[in-house]
Structure 1
Amino acid sequence: MRRALIILAWPLIEIGLFVVIGGEIGLWPTLAWVLLTAVAGVLLLKFTAARGMMLLRGGMDPAALRDGAPVTGLLRGLAALLLILPGFLTDTLGLVLLLLTAVPPLRQKLQASVMRRVVPAGAAGMGFGTAFGQGPGPRSPQGGDDILDGEWVEVPPEANRNRPSRWTEIE
């Protein structure tokens, strides 16, 4: 319920801030602020994505993992998205998040807070290792494998040119 209220109140707060701040500083400075923060957000997002790709291509250096580079990249990406969205509240939150990731002691506390909420892959029993035949798949409650039997019929392409999809037919 609380999240729903926040989601409903967010646009109203943004509109109110546009009216109040825009009335104080004027139309053109308001538009310039919105455009500049959006451009800064796009550039920050591109930089963060490029850095993330470098880390992935480099094989995830253990020192980078120890320093929390993936979490920092995630937080900077979120800050960039907040800067891209138009509005003074989102821009303020994006700038605060960006500043928090720039100060090492605050960044470490923020990373620790994020990592406490992260569930390691496979810990929830989701069977992520089965995507490409890596490791065992999820098990049924009885302990056996889940096997689905099925049949298929190959239909030549010229047979169904003017017919609807055969997915709906039962044979």
Structure 2
Amino acid sequence: MPFLLLLAFIGVPLLEIAVFIQVGDVVGLGWTLGLVILTAVIGTMLLRAQGVATLNRARASLGRGEVPMREVFDGACLLVGGALLLTPGFVTDSLGFLLLLPPVRAFALDRLKQSGRLHVHTTGMPPGGDDPFGAGRGPTPGGGRGPVIDGEYEDLGDGDVGEPRPSRWSGVAGPNESPDEAQDGRSDDRS
């Protein structure tokens, strides 16, 4: 793997230089530089539009309670494609533009699934979009009462609601105590 990375870091710039020379011979230096800048600008605009559309599809998938696997893959392809488009060169721009095409991304995702290199494990997601904990939705389809929230509680007994309770902590005033009374452990309001 390190050899492949070294080959890519050496081979891609050499290939870009060779293509620059060939294009420069045909159209001239000014047009060559203009084409490189133009591809970067067009690629950035396409990347922004595709990114917003992918984000909206991911939100819709989450709202339906589905795992947005395709949208995450599309987002990763757009990220790599954007980096390639911002790198000066015709070869990297061509690869970046290919990653912006939805059919190319769909083909790559299908190939990854078929090769067994892509595994997705999910435990299920609640439907409801912005409400990931399902508050206020009532019983779940499986018969449960909704999400389980871990916590601690203290049973305060069956005392009257309006009856003041002594403070649990020394020095902390209860609802009918002043801070001075809490320090002394007495209250004038109690009978």
Distance in structure 2 (CA, Å) of the matches to 1:64 and 1:117: 21
Task: Describe the shift of the 1:33–1:90 C-alpha distance in structure 2 as closer, same or farther (beyond 3 A).
Answer: same
Task: Describe the shift of the 1:44–1:109 C-alpha distance in structure 2 as closer, same or farther (beyond 3 A).
Answer: same
Distance in structure 1 (CA, Å) of the matches to 2:44 and 2:69: 25
Task: Describe the shift of the 1:73–1:93 C-alpha distance in structure 2 as closer, same or farther (beyond 3 A).
Answer: same
Find out whether 1:117 has 2:117 as its counterpart.
Answer: yes
- What does the per-residue CA deviation read over 1:123-160, in whole Å, with 9 as the maximum and x for residues that have no partner? xxxxxxxxxxxxxxxxxxxxxxxxxxxxxxxxxxxxxx
Structure 1 residues not aligned, in runs of 5+: 123-171
Residue number in structure 2 paired with 1:75: 77
Distance in structure 2 (CA, Å) of the matches to 1:54 and 1:67: 14
SS state of the match for residue 68, structure 1?
Answer: helix
Residue number in structure 2 paired with 1:31: 33
| Equivalent residue letter for 1:5 | L
Report matched runs for 1:54-65 at 5 Å. 54-58=56-60, 60-62=62-64
Residue number in structure 1 paired with 2:21: 19
| Equivalent residue letter for 1:113 | R
Q: Which moved more, 1:88-97 or 1:72-81?
A: 72-81
SS state of the match for residue 39, structure 1?
Answer: helix
| Equivalent residue letter for 2:40 | A
| Equivalent residue letter for 1:69 | E
Distance apart, 1:109 and its partner CA? 2.9
Percent identity over the alignment?
Answer: 30
Q: Is the 8 A contact 2:58 2:68 kept in 1?
A: no
Distance in structure 1 (CA, Å) of the matches to 2:69 and 2:50: 16
Q: Which moved more, 1:83-92 or 1:46-55?
A: 46-55
CA RMSD of aligned residues (A): 3.2
Q: Aligned to 2:9, which of 7, 11, 24?
A: 7
Task: Describe the shift of the 1:77–1:64 C-alpha distance in structure 2 as closer, same or farther (beyond 3 A).
Answer: farther
Distance in structure 2 (CA, Å) of the matches to 1:70 and 1:54: 12
Task: Describe the shift of the 1:95–1:55 C-alpha distance in structure 2 as closer, same or farther (beyond 3 A).
Answer: closer
Structure 2 residues not aligned, in runs of 5+: 123-191
Task: Describe the shift of the 1:64–1:95 C-alpha distance in structure 2 as closer, same or farther (beyond 3 A).
Answer: farther
Residue number in structure 2 paired with 1:40: 42
